[in-house]
Structure 1
């Protein structure tokens, strides 16, 4: 064997073995790069998901805070007026002063509030013919600020915005109780109570006229109270309201 052949056999395998090693190493680098790129995409995706979650959490937190503020605002609103039902009776002699009586039970002859108006029954009937009647009783006296509304003795009276005199709180007499007892079976209606044609009745102003109905009592505050006529079904749409204002 010549020296050239010996060198060829001993050197060539070194080149042939190094070449496959280089080609094998290349896929390893490629795989590493692919893995790194996949990892980066995963990281980016995770960051985007976190941002979405944070934005969603922030939005929910803002909505909860807004709801709390709205709830606090609703809690700070003043309470609504309380309402109840009472029996109201307007009565009086035809040419005498008219009275307004409030009862919680129509079967009892003892009123919880009795006011005597300065106008006559005929005058009140004429005012009611227009279909709307609003009577306002006002008290501006400073010495009556601590009195309950039903204990105020004198009110300034306004009828549909016009001053018509005064209203006076008074106790029920035997005659008042007799009238209320006569109509205690009436829940809603108007009429005339017949009487004996005596000299005393003539002096009082003739026969007694009355109108009885249910009223909605509204307590606005310690300084305001009102009574609103409730019309039954299939009855005239008469609007009648009485206000006590201090």
Structure 2
């Protein structure tokens, strides 16, 4: 945690910290209409269900003498299906990548565009670098962190997305770090401005002279929790396939 705090302090400001929220042309905190996300995505199974599952695992497995004909169902199988597909958890979330053209990229996850961010990560990746990599048509962002074996007591109950910091890789190249933090009033102002946007990319014009434009990419993401140490976000492209192939990996090694 101390390392992430020192890193955040050493990183340059997001856009222009000398301007307040009202001067930057974004809504004040009192005008934010985003609602809190529900807790259904992180809710643990009820105790009765967990006990029932543990009892079922202790029951013997009987093999029937008669052979049941197998049905070919590969045409209906999910592309993410595997030997442990039954353990995977999937959600549809809204993801937004945005940042000043000469600043760093921020990434937020929302339950839907009307909700407050459930996760906010600031990348040490410059916005123009992200746009350049995305223009190739395929973008892979990997965020990796360690398990901190010496701190098992404090990290055993921490979920992957609750980690404070990750090493950042963009298309296989080390690109600094990603730091989890709370969204600022300016960040919430951007989310409020994009409240009616469910999918798209563009540039938010500067509100006043001397301010920078904010580039953004917003889309629906298929959030797949493969395990407690692996979560993947697949961006869902438009039906015409015109969008980039974007995937974000969260990995704990």
TM-score, scaled relative to structure 1 = 0.65
Question: Which of the residues 140, 152, 170 maps onto 2:181?
Answer: 170
Q: In 1, distance between residues paired with 2:184 and 2:67? A: 59
1:59 matched to which residue of 2?
none
**Residue 196 to residue 64, structure 1, CA distance change in 2 (3 Å):** closer
Deviation at 1:146, TM superposition (A): 4.0
Question: Which of the residues 188, 205, 230 maps onto 2:236?
Answer: 230
Question: Which of the residues 233, 247, 251 maps onto 1:245?
Answer: 251
Q: In 1, distance between residues paired with 2:157 and 2:66? A: 42
1:155 matched to which residue of 2?
166
Deviation at 1:194, TM superposition (A): 1.7
Question: Which of the residues 93, 104, 107 maps onto 1:100?
Answer: 107
Alpha-carbon displacement from aligned partner over 1:74-115 (angstroms, at most 9, x marks no partner): xxx53341211000011010010001110002112x200011
Deviation at 1:141, TM superposition (A): 4.3
Relative to its length, the structure with more helix (as a share) is 1
Unaligned residue ranges in structure 1 (runs of 5+): 1-62, 71-76
Q: In 1, distance between residues paired with 2:113 and 2:166? A: 26
Instruction: Tell me whether 1:87 sits opposite 2:94 in the alignment.
Output: yes
Alpha-carbon displacement from aligned partner over 1:176-200 (angstroms, at most 9, x marks no partner): 111100011011111111223345x
Aligned to 2:203, the other structure's residue is in SS state strand
Unaligned residue ranges in structure 2 (runs of 5+): 1-62, 71-82
Deviation at 1:121, TM superposition (A): 0.7
Q: In 2, distance between residues paired with 1:138 and 1:67? A: 46
Considering Cα pairs closer than 8 Å and 6+ residues apart, tell me whether 1 or 2 has the greater RCO: 2
TM-score, scaled relative to structure 2 = 0.63
Aligned length, in residue pairs: 171
Query: Max radius of gyration: which structure?
Result: 1
Deviation at 1:223, TM superposition (A): 1.0
Q: In 2, distance between residues paired with 1:65 and 1:131? A: 53
Deviation at 1:209, TM superposition (A): 0.7
Q: In 1, distance between residues paired with 2:111 and 2:246? A: 19
1:181 matched to which residue of 2?
192
Q: In 2, distance between residues paired with 1:245 and 1:146? A: 16
Alpha-carbon displacement from aligned partner over 1:121-166 (angstroms, at most 9, x marks no partner): 1000001111111101010141345421121111001111111111
Alpha-carbon displacement from aligned partner over 1:22-41 (angstroms, at most 9, x marks no partner): xxxxxxxxxxxxxxxxxxxx
Q: In 2, distance between residues paired with 1:189 and 1:237? A: 9
Q: What is the correspondence of 1:1-246 to structure 2 with a 5 Å cutoff? A: 64-65=64-65, 67=67, 78=84, 79-108=86-115, 110-142=116-148, 143=151, 144-199=155-210, 201=211, 206-246=212-252
